[in-house]
Amino acid sequence: MAKDHLRAWDCDYERRGRLWGGAGDLPELPQDSRILELGCGDGKTLGLAADRGLPVIGLDISKQALALARGAAPAAPLILADARALPFRDGCIDYILAYHVFGHLLEGERRAAAREAARVLRPGGRLFFRDFGRGDMRYGRGEEVEQGTFRRGAGTITHYFSPEEAAALFCWMRVAHVEAVRWTMRIRGSEVVREGVWGELAKSE
Ligand SMILES: C[S@@+](CC[C@H](N)C(=O)[O-])C[C@H]1O[C@@H](n2cnc3c(N)ncnc32)[C@H](O)[C@@H]1O
């Protein structure tokens, strides 16, 4: 049975519909590879992948998210599952996209999901990681449920990473690179700073 902060996703999508705007982006990946997106949400990245002819499998813990993702990428295989217990054989995935999913888990859950990602990747396979960093304007908002992890209105949680912490999370893989990335955006007329931690991890050959 999923915990409250995981179940909260279903309610949020049911109440608000599509949640993730913006253009999205993808690394350059070969078309004949097996690509898995963990926490695909409402299909922003899946839709982009479908436009490029990339066969990405979408996986999410929320049924409502997958119903929305179906609209964005009608032909993509979609799997209702938990990133902490992936329904794949060892070493059968070439690339994993993990955009803003690890940051919505508690510490022990992040470790379990990172271990699973390393298990299903083939030797030499890569994981692309994106989450928010500690310099982000939202850091500190909401109830702190673990160090650097905050619960906000909908009941979902967000953890804010340092680059070192993100690298350490994937201790079963080699760090190709991890960096903090900053950008600004306007929210209700004010300029605010966003910070992400972006990384690429490789499973040893
Ligand atoms: C912020 S959204 C990211 C959506 C998408 N990756 C994007 O960047 O547009 C986080 C998604 O992770 C999913 N999620 C949270 N915990 C999960 C878990 N344990 N296993 C699989 N998906 C999970 C949520 O349901 C939600 O759709």
Q: Can you tell me which atom of ligand 1 is nearest the CA of 83?
A: 20
Q: What region does 4 belong to: left with phi over 0, alpha with psi -120 to 50, or beta?
A: alpha
SS3 7: helix
Q: At what angle do helices 4-16 and 63-72 cross, to 10 degrees?
A: 40
Q: Would you say the CB of residue 41 lies under 6 angstroms from ligand 1?
A: yes
> Is the four-CA dihedral 49, 118, 80, 112 of positive or negative sign?
negative
- State whether the beta carbon of 156 lies less than 6 angstroms from ligand 1: no
Mean pLDDT, rounded, of the chain: 93
Identify which of 58, 61, 198, 183 has the alpha carbon closest to the alpha carbon of residue 128: 198
Q: Could you give the CA distance from residue 138 to residue 193 in angstroms, rounded to a whole number?
A: 9
Residue 118 near ligand 1, beta carbon < 6 Å: no
Tell me, in angstroms, the distance from the centre of ligand 1 to residue 26's CA: 17
Summarised one tens digit per residue, pLDDT across range 25-40 is: 899 999 999 999 999 9
CB atoms inside a 10 Å sphere around CB 200: 16
This model's pTM is above 0.75: yes
Span 89-93, average pLDDT: 98
Residue located nearest, by CA, to atom 10 of ligand 1: 101
User: Residue 2: which pLDDT band, with cuts at 50, 70 and 90?
Assistant: low
Query: b or e along 29-52 (b: 16 or more beta carbons within 10 Å of the residue's beta carbon)?
Result: beeeebbbbbbbbbbbbbbbbbee
Q: Where in the chain are the domains? A: 4-15+30-202
Instruction: Say which residue the tokens 């931690």 belong to.
Output: 197
CATH of domain 4-15+30-202: 3.40.50.150
The protein residue whose alpha carbon is closest to atom 17 in ligand 1 is 61
Q: How far apart are CA 44 and CA 48, in angstroms?
A: 7
> Which helix (H) or strand (E) element contains residue 45?
helix 44-51
- CA 3–ligand 1 middle distance (angstroms): 14
Regarding the beta carbon of 6 and ligand 1, being less than 6 Å apart is answered yes
Tokens of 135: 């310099």
- The finding on whether 40 has its CB within 6 A of some atom of ligand 1 is yes
Q: What is the pLDDT of residues 167-181, one digit of tens each?
A: 999 999 999 999 999
